[in-house]
Amino acid sequence: MTDPSSPDVLVVGLGPAGRALAFRAAAAGLTVTAVDPQPHRRWTATYAAWADELPDWLPPAVVAAAVSTPAVWTHGPRAVGRAYRVLDTGRLQDFLALDAVTMVTGRARTVDADGATLTDGRRLGARHIVDARGVPARSHRAQQTAFGLIVDDAIAAPALDGQAAWFMDWRRDNGTAPDDVPSFLYAVPVGGGRTILEETCLVGRPALGLGELERRLRIRLAARGVRIDGDEDVERVRFAVEGESVAPGVIGYGARGGLMHPATGYAVATALSCADAVVEAMRDGTDPQRVLWTTRSREVAMLRRMGLRVLLRLDGDGVAEFFDAFFALPVAAQRAYLSGRNDAAGVATTMWRLFRVLPAPLRGTILRSLPLWRTSRPGGR
């Protein structure tokens, strides 16, 4: 039985997901307590998303840079007809203000349906318990890694070849051979006349180390005539792309709750855009976990996990071939696979269209990555 003096919501973890949910819940008039070991820590990561993924309530001021047509390089340059937004991380955090939220500094040892027990023994309860603690990047989980340098736009220009941004540039001028674990250049403006140039390992188990990514980035930038003097701001990226189970009766949110796209590592826009549905369910007395995890969204998540298994098997040539076919699909088909959580038919159609046009060796790789194939092989284990 919940104590009547308990708040409506307890949010454990104040990364982008927990903070967005706490903010929207408080704005909707719910009483909210939030706990984090460092609730006022400033975020420093560069967060970005497709423009159409962001919720209407987010003001334009949180956008640091707008790219109307990002590009990819697979076998050659290709424009992606879908607008992309790089967020101003500081402004996003400030906009998600928590003045109306009771803040607790502490680390949860356990989180269950009744609340959270902190490492110092304090116990916090609420009517709805949200676990938004993120996922530790342990080696058994697939991870994304990246090493980036933030430079003036003019310095970055030779790496961009006239494009506004590289969403993915898979050229191998980073010193790699076709059968090396691949990495790509992510190059986007971050506002204030600056651009991030980031060598990225999309997913790996284990993912490429940051030292190797830095080495590749420096080779690539030297090959393109980008002048680096050693004073650049650096971004180091390592995070798990797979979620973690939460206790029964707890609402898992953000990366912790499996809201990250396992094959791309994007999660911020999903956390922002799903917050209102969760808050509405809390107010209506509907089960928020059921609202988040419909039959369709479970199917979508399962299909995307298949996508992750495929990517984990691709070498440098395979990955360029794969994304060449992917970005040749109409934008609506790309969007179905990359964004949203409920269009299972759309995701399956995109995957089937892709499978049909890929060369035979890649189709074989895809088939071998299916769990069905592994378990149904005669003598298979």
Ligand X SMILES: Cc1cc2nc3c(=O)[nH]c(=O)nc-3n(C[C@H](O)[C@H](O)[C@H](O)COP(=O)(O)OP(=O)(O)OC[C@H]3O[C@@H](n4cnc5c(N)ncnc54)[C@H](O)[C@@H]3O)c2cc1C
Chain residues that interact with ligand X, rule: CB under 6 A: 12-18, 35-38, 45-49, 107-108, 132-134, 235, 237, 239, 254-256, 260, 265-269, 271
d(CA 270, CA 56): 13
Q: What are phi and psi of 292, to 5 degrees?
A: -70, -40
Q: How many residues are given for the chain?
A: 381
206 upstream amide cis, omega within 30 of 0: yes
- Least gap, CB of 164 to ligand X (angstroms): 16
Q: What distances in angstroms separate CA 256 from CA 125, 205, 250, 318, one per listed residue?
A: 19, 18, 11, 30
Min dist. Cβ of residue 51 to ligand X (A): 13
Q: Which residue number, 260 or 366, has a Cβ lying nearer to ligand X?
A: 260
Please identify, using beta-carbon distances, which residue of 14 and 358 lies nearer to ligand X: 14
Minimum distance from CB of 50 to ligand X (Å)? 10
- Of the pair 35, 366, the CB lying nearest ligand X is at 35
Burial letters 115-151, b for 16+ CB under 10 A, else e: bbbbeeeeebbbbbbbbbbbbebeeebbbbbbbbbbb
Question: Nearest residue to ligand X, using CB?
Answer: 15
**Nearer to ligand X by C-beta: 16 or 288?**
16
Residue in the structure block whose two tokens are 């909210």: 32
Q: Give the CA distances from residue 153 to residues 48, 84, 109, 218, in Å, rounded to whole numbers and listed in that order.
A: 18, 18, 44, 17
Strand partners, 53: none
For residue 269, the minimal CB distance to ligand X (Å) is 6
Q: Closer to ligand X at the Cβ: 147 or 322?
A: 147
Q: Which is nearer to ligand X, 63 or 325 (CB)?
A: 63
CA dihedral 103, 108, 110, 115 (to 10 degrees): -10
Instruction: Supply the minimum distance, in Å, between the C-beta of residue 285 and ligand X.
Output: 26
β-strands 71-73, 166-169 pairing = parallel
Residue 354 CB, nearest distance to ligand X (Å)? 22
Which 3 state secondary structure label does DSSP give 160? helix
Closest CA to 42 of 91, 79, 75, 8: 91
Nearer to ligand X, 182 or 258 (CB): 258
Residue 36 or 212: the one with the smaller Cβ distance to ligand X is 36
Least spacing, CB of residue 53 vs ligand X, in Å: 9
Find the radius of gyration of the CA atoms of the chain: 21
Q: If 0-12 CB within 10 Å is exposed, 13-18 middle and 19+ buried, where does residue 162 land?
A: exposed
- When the beta carbons of 104 and 331 are compared against ligand X, the nearer one is 104
- Angle at which helix 295-311 crosses helix 344-357, to 10 degrees, equals 30
CB of 321 to ligand X, least distance (A): 25
Query: Minimal distance in Å, beta carbon 119 to ligand X?
Result: 8
